[in-house]
Structure 1
Amino acid sequence: MSQTRTTQTDAYSLILEAIDVGIYKPGDRLVESDLAERFGVSRTPIREALQRLETQSLLERDGRSLIVASLDHNQMAELYVVRRELEGLAARLAARHATEEEIRVLRDMVTADDALVNDPAALSRANRRFHKQIHLASHNRYLVQQLDLVHRTMALMATTSLAAQGRGEIAQSEHDGIVRAIEARDEDGAGKALQEHISIAFMTRLKQDAGRRERS
């Protein structure tokens, strides 16, 4: 890979990560010069990275400016439908194909993440790692690619459902159930457990949005 291509990829990854961790939130304007200064790269790879992100619908035009995109109700619902099905498939395949070492890593993640239930931001990051580990344990590269796209789009949601009162503890219990099914090599049980986990997260997010509308 050429140095130019590497720089382009780095700029894309840096901006994507900044959106994912909430440095840039839906509606925030992204300016080439500011990004170049923040990340220490020239404006050309920044411009190319922004164009790529716009093509992927992670950025949108607001006049002449590019802003971080946001999802309306219908888009969010559509995303969760796709996520529920793909995540369920990943769990089923993980129950079939995961190595014993991969399963132990999932179990260790659940145990370690129990300490984060009162820190929604940290638990959200841990939650992404947990789900990514299941994706990888599916041993299906094409499924992993599609789930990567879904999870990139999830970054366009300004808040995490894990911030809801009591959601952290419940989500951890759900993660435990998912891993138990994978440990038992119960493909149907793992798939259903993860699909239910996604459905509950979606319902939690809908309630959060309804609360915000009521307060506004």
Structure 2
Amino acid sequence: MNVYERMKQALITGKYKPGDRLTEEALTEEWKVSRTPIRSALKQLEFDGLITPLKRGYIVRSFSQNDIRQIYDVRSLLEGYAASLSAIHRTEQDLSDMHKANEDFKTIIMSRGTNKTEHIQDVLKKNHKFHDTVIRASKDPHTEDLIRKVVVLPLVFHSFYWFEQRGLEQSFELHEVIIRAIEDQDSARARSAMHEHIYQGRDRVLEQLKRSDL
């Protein structure tokens, strides 16, 4: 795993928290590498929307309730659209990939690892894989590029982190609904199911954010 990936994981899992300041000097010392890969990683993380530049260094991005609603609204629109296109353009291979990805997702959520953070990181990867199969089946690279820009992984990570086991199982079940709709070439149902799935994660993040403010 390169420096960028390691730093991204640190942001996703909350090692670097919203409002934390990051500098090349401190990161060079922490990660025991030269400034060149640190500088490159910081630029990529800025592009990802995870950090914001300061006059000197960067600050880890924070999200207000309004930010979260807007991010998830845009994500829901884009992924819902992608799911509706997938119902039209999907191939048998696409369907096979979706079924396989969701079975892998089910396996990981039922494993209930002893380290919660590591377990949720694995859940996040499998969930991301499932969504990738749906998006690729849309055969629309422009929408795919836009989706990549609005999926803020720390928010997705925490939506899963705060799910109880039943919530994770509901995600698997909604994946199944999405697959069936795509399989049946029911664009409207595929779009609707994807909307519900995205908003399920949004509501969990907002609920926990409100609790933390109490």
| Aligned match of 2:98 | 106
| Aligned match of 1:182 | 182
**CA displacement 1:73-92 (0-9 Å, x = unmatched):** 11111101101100101101
In structure 2, distance between residues paired with 1:81 and 1:137 = 22
2:67 to 59, 66, 75: 75
SS of 2:158's equivalent in the other structure is coil
1:115 to 107, 111, 124: 107
In structure 2, distance between residues paired with 1:132 and 1:22 = 24
Amino acid aligned to 2:102: V
Deviation for aligned residue 1:171: 0.9
Deviation for aligned residue 1:209: 1.8
| Aligned match of 1:19 | 11
**CA displacement 1:38-71 (0-9 Å, x = unmatched):** 7675313432442454365421256744222111
Change (3 A) 1:24 1:138: farther
The answer for unaligned runs of 5 or more in structure 1 is 1-9
| Aligned match of 1:95 | 87
Q: Which is further off, 59-68 or 171-180?
A: 59-68
SS of 1:67's equivalent in the other structure is strand
Deviation for aligned residue 1:182: 1.0
Change (3 A) 1:117 1:13: closer
The answer for unaligned runs of 5 or more in structure 2 is 113-118
In structure 2, distance between residues paired with 1:40 and 1:106 = 40
**CA displacement 1:184-215 (0-9 Å, x = unmatched):** 1111111111011112222222222222223x
Contact 2:162–2:208 (CA under 8 A) maintained in structure 1: no
| Aligned match of 2:163 | 164
Q: Which is further off, 56-65 or 106-115?
A: 56-65
Q: How many residues align?
A: 204
When the two chains are superposed, the root-mean-square deviation of aligned CA atoms in Å is 2.8
TM-score calculated relative to the size of structure 1: 0.79
2:205 is the counterpart of 1:205: yes
In structure 1, distance between residues paired with 2:109 and 2:91 = 28
In structure 2, distance between residues paired with 1:110 and 1:48 = 34
| Aligned match of 2:116 | none
SS of 1:70's equivalent in the other structure is coil
Amino acid aligned to 1:194: M
2:138 is the counterpart of 1:138: yes
Q: Which is further off, 123-132 or 184-193?
A: 123-132
Contact 1:162–1:168 (CA under 8 A) maintained in structure 2: no
Contact 2:12–2:157 (CA under 8 A) maintained in structure 1: no
Amino acid aligned to 1:187: S
In structure 2, distance between residues paired with 1:123 and 1:23 = 18
Deviation for aligned residue 1:178: 0.5
TM-score calculated relative to the size of structure 2: 0.80
